[in-house]
Structure 1
Amino acid sequence: MNRPDGVTILQSSVALPDPHILSDAREGLNILAAVYDPLVRSTGPERFGPALAESWTLAPDARTWTFRLRAGVRFHDGAQLAAADVVATIERARSPELGGSYGTDGVFRSYVAGATVEAVDDQTMRIVTGEPSADLLDLLVALPIAPRGALDGLPDRAIGSGPFRVVEANGHEITMEAFAGGWHGEAGVRRLRWLAEPDHERRVDRLLAGEGDIATKVTPQGVRRLRDAPTARAVTASSTTCIIFLCNLHSGVCTDRRVRQALNHALDTPRLIDGLFDGAAERLHGPFTALHRAYDPASQPYTYDPALARKLLADAGYPDGIALTVDIPTTMPDEARDLARALTEQYPLAGIRVTIREHEDRIAYAYMVRDKRIGDLCLFDSSPPSTYRVLREKFHSGVRGPWWQGYANAEVDRLTDEARGIVDPEARARLFQRACTIARDDAPWVFLYAPHAAWGVSSRLDPWGPDPDGIIRFG
């Protein structure tokens, strides 16, 4: 790959995130990955390799995790990595005083609130969870480690052990320089410059004008523009983000399984994918993508069949159809209004009348969903690459997580609980698949699609591409 002296990345936002607030927002994760390291790194969906931990073990009880740290690691402030830094980081991340992002307050804490976290010696640390937690790495991969002496300065004073250190940061631009002497070795790029450009098309304009080397979150229209561009190209990849409508199973018509199945049969999802994404999205067969361990390749998506939808509604006691109130945000996903329009056009063919309620404030919308104050449906995304997190936070009726909307199936709960105590990942995956099949048939969501992620990349960086987890890295 061509290695220029500096690389400029154009993103919709470039604010320094708090590294310990759980978030799946890829643009923030790009910045964190340049500055910090977790204990383990992602080598693919739900697969992990060494990072600050060179090795680890999980005891047969699926509760006792022991991590051996990499020797000789220095932070940007010169401090040496020690087990006490990892302990202090986890204590900060699970503190009740730490907030959240778009409703994620307390999510990390809910997994490790009762855990014992200790330094065995300078190079060894141990986590003993209160309950079996065979999927704990799903969380630790997203937990950047900072030196204990620098935690009080977060997030504005960002100090990690990553391949780049922050030189200057404001709300519009972040400048980083390669961290000399870091454990990563030579980064190959001396400087990273992150520029905020909220407008999707302007990011592509600026890339083509030579003002940037990478543009994130490129739209299908932007991908078309880049196909014949002489100085840049589009890079696309599948993602674990599921665009869905959550069904309100607390009250209303969606408490009936047949109604929820009818809602899935009444929507022409392939037509949506072709119209909105030029086909650049994967149709969901259930609550997980093909990149999740719970995915069953033998599963089938709901067929588009308005007549069957009408029959299911009649069987549920609604021979004259139903009326739905549907909540949507105006952004995240950006195609929200297009999806609302599709509902109002397609659902009446199955006898479903739709009233749309728009919400401009996306943060308030997230908390409305978290507080279970939705209409019959609400548009949302499910972005964790972790199968266990989705099952626990969104489906488990005993946990009643932040995005759970009343779904209850004792077998799904049992399979999820059993899986967390199984050390063997393949055996765990088989239980997850069974839970996924049941949830698919119960239809607690209207399953839509997983859009492809897309970047615009200058020809100066050929043949650069993002890592398997979709993160921009130059370390």
Structure 2
Amino acid sequence: MKSTVLRIAQEKVDFFPPHRVTDDRSILTLKSLVFEPLCTWTDGHITPGLFKKWETESNGLIWNFHIRSNALFHDGSPCTASDIVVFLTEICQSVDTFGMKWSYARYFNQVTFTAPSSTCLRVETSRPMGDLPEIFSEFYLSKLDQSGHATIGTGPFHVLTFIPGVQASLSSCAQPTKTLHFAAHKHPEDRLNLLRTSQVDIACQLDALSPLPEQDPSFKWLSATSCLSVMAYLNCNKGIFSHPEARLAINMAVNRQALCDQVYNGQAIPACTIVSPFHFGFNQTHIPYDPEKARAFFAELGQDFSVTLRTPTFMPEHALQISLFIKNSLEAIGLHVNLDVVEDRPDYARQIGRKEIGDIALFDSSPHSTFRVLNDKISSRTRGIWWQGYDNSALESSITRANECLCSSERALNYANCLSSLQTDPPWLYLAHPNSICAARHDIDGLSMNHKGLIYFKEGSKK
């Protein structure tokens, strides 16, 4: 049988330690091919992954998750519930890309993981957690190889070779003659040029190009609106945006559709709440663009306002262009905007975590979980690291009710109520959900992209 090798250029090539969780699309693409998520997330819906089924007992205080039949690691060893207990225990100590502690330890602070059998994980909680399967969709079980790298999984591809930060070759478990070769190229211009010169077959994360590329008909283009939210934190602790009316007014002052058209060249959709249309519970309409109403609100206060807008240079992509668009929009309604540009992106994240946001701070929100966004960034009860002083007691009751609801349809309605209240009393300046973009040779079949920006290869895809 003829062998098939597909060459893929993406921003990064790495396999993090088993306990390390990331939102990076490059690394998640590799993880999703080599490993399996405990549960599978698809546009807000949860289906089986490594766990084939689950059920609850004791009014939702006990969950039993069952591993799919004959689950084996690529080295031939069985995948057991004990492996998952160790994995989850380590996850609770994990940190993000910037060395900041994830929230999982808080979620699981009063949770016990045990393995009553080799194929059953038991989770005992102090209160009902209806979103537990969704949280598990972020976790991909892996084990270390002989070199100490986390490259052994139970997914559809296994690792042939791996040079950290440089390249990795994967082989299909179902079609051994099919190989995917991933190479790291930091700059999107280089990735596109490698495709143009036939040195690779697929170029990924081209949405990082500035300006965004015209879609050359010489290639097959894949574009999927991301569940990532580009947004700006508003300082709810002090200053003008401690007033709910000011937060609503600033959302009326920015033409989000024009932002998508001008900055993203149409490769984005406007945001209308804290999550995307692909999140669980989403069922929202847009805050109207009404600059005259926004201008009137600030004029009624009878004073000149000067606000500080802080921005990184990337993450989100096109950060400076977005910030300039915001600045121009706010100055058009009578505010004076001081733009504070921070070059050090990791330190910028740490500053935001310390609530050093000025009045407005451009950022992005990557979790695909409505539960996580509400509990990590909005709730004044939990006051997560990204919380910026927002306090709405009525919303807190709605969040708790949604969190503890076990019925999926009822929980979706509860979350929809939370999201609706965050339109009338917004904690952020809502901006956009950008597209993830990649390009490939026309004759490559079976290539797809999901709303997390991950590429997939269906069986039977060819060179």
**SS of the residue 1:226 aligns to:** coil
Residue 424 of structure 2: aligned partner: 441
| Residue 236 of structure 2 is aligned to residue 249 of structure 1 | yes
Residue 363 of structure 1: aligned partner: 346
Output aligned runs, 1:164-243, within 5 Å.
164-178=157-171, 180=173, 186-187=174-175, 190-219=178-207, 224-229=213-218, 232-243=219-230
Residue 303 of structure 1: aligned partner: 289
**Structure 2 residue corresponding to 1:163, chosen from 156, 180, 183:** 156
Identity, in percent, stands at 25
**SS of the residue 2:6 aligns to:** strand
Q: Deviations over 1:45-89 (max 9, x none)?
A: 221222221211133623321011123222123211111111111
Q: Could you tell me the TM-score, scaled by structure 2's length?
A: 0.92
Output aligned runs, 1:229-378, within 5 Å.
229=218, 232-297=219-284, 299-305=285-291, 307-315=292-300, 317=301, 319-378=302-361
Asked whether the 8 Å contact 1:237–1:452 carries over to 2, the reply is: yes
| Residue 372 of structure 2 is aligned to residue 392 of structure 1 | no
One-letter code aligned to 2:309:
V
Residue 146 of structure 1: aligned partner: 142
RMSD over aligned CA atoms reads: 2.2
Asked whether the 8 Å contact 1:329–1:336 carries over to 2, the reply is: yes
One-letter code aligned to 2:170:
E
Give the deviation of 1:188 after TM superposition: 6.8
Residue 38 of structure 1: aligned partner: 37
Asked whether the 8 Å contact 1:327–1:379 carries over to 2, the reply is: yes
Which structure 1 segments of 5+ residues have no match?
Answer: 181-185
One-letter code aligned to 2:333:
A
Q: Distance in 2 between matches of 1:302 and 1:153?
A: 56
Which range is displaced more, 14-23 or 82-91?
A: 14-23
Q: Deviations over 1:331-377 (max 9, x none)?
A: 11121111222233222121111111111111111111111111111
Asked whether the 8 Å contact 1:83–1:121 carries over to 2, the reply is: yes
Q: Distance in 2 between matches of 1:152 and 1:390?
A: 37
Asked whether the 8 Å contact 1:75–1:81 carries over to 2, the reply is: yes
Asked whether the 8 Å contact 2:81–2:117 carries over to 1, the reply is: yes
One-letter code aligned to 1:228:
P
Which structure 2 segments of 5+ residues have no match?
Answer: 459-463
Q: Distance in 2 between matches of 1:213 and 1:162?
A: 23
Residue 130 of structure 2: aligned partner: 134
Asked whether the 8 Å contact 1:310–1:321 carries over to 2, the reply is: no
Residue 383 of structure 1: aligned partner: 366
Could you say if the C-alpha distance between residues 62 and 213 of structure 1 is closer, same or farther in structure 2, counting changes exceeding 3 Å?
A: farther
**SS of the residue 2:457 aligns to:** coil
Which range is displaced more, 165-174 or 265-274?
A: 165-174
Q: Distance in 2 between matches of 1:314 and 1:55?
A: 58
Q: Distance in 1 between matches of 2:215 and 2:155?
A: 32
**Structure 1 residue corresponding to 2:51, chosen from 37, 50, 53:** 53
Q: Distance in 1 between matches of 2:3 and 2:54?
A: 36
Q: Distance in 2 between matches of 1:222 and 1:4?
A: 37
Q: Deviations over 1:214-265 (max 9, x none)?
A: 2211137787443321xx2111112211111100111111101122122112
Output aligned runs, 1:25-104, within 5 Å.
25-42=24-41, 44-59=42-57, 61-95=59-93, 98-102=94-98, 104=100
Q: Distance in 1 between matches of 2:184 and 2:11?
A: 5
Q: Distance in 1 between matches of 2:376 and 2:175?
A: 37
Output aligned runs, 1:11-30, within 5 Å.
11-30=10-29
Asked whether the 8 Å contact 1:201–1:222 carries over to 2, the reply is: no
Residue 111 of structure 2: aligned partner: 115
Asked whether the 8 Å contact 1:162–1:179 carries over to 2, the reply is: no
Asked whether the 8 Å contact 2:159–2:171 carries over to 1, the reply is: no
**SS of the residue 2:254 aligns to:** coil
Q: Distance in 2 between matches of 1:469 and 1:327?
A: 26
Give the deviation of 1:104 after TM superposition: 4.9
Asked whether the 8 Å contact 2:64–2:121 carries over to 1, the reply is: yes
Which range is displaced more, 458-467 or 118-127?
A: 458-467
Could you say if the C-alpha distance between residues 389 and 103 of structure 1 is closer, same or farther in structure 2, counting changes exceeding 3 Å?
A: farther
Which range is displaced more, 84-93 or 46-55?
A: 46-55
Could you say if the C-alpha distance between residues 4 and 136 of structure 1 is closer, same or farther in structure 2, counting changes exceeding 3 Å?
A: farther
Could you say if the C-alpha distance between residues 385 and 257 of structure 1 is closer, same or farther in structure 2, counting changes exceeding 3 Å?
A: same
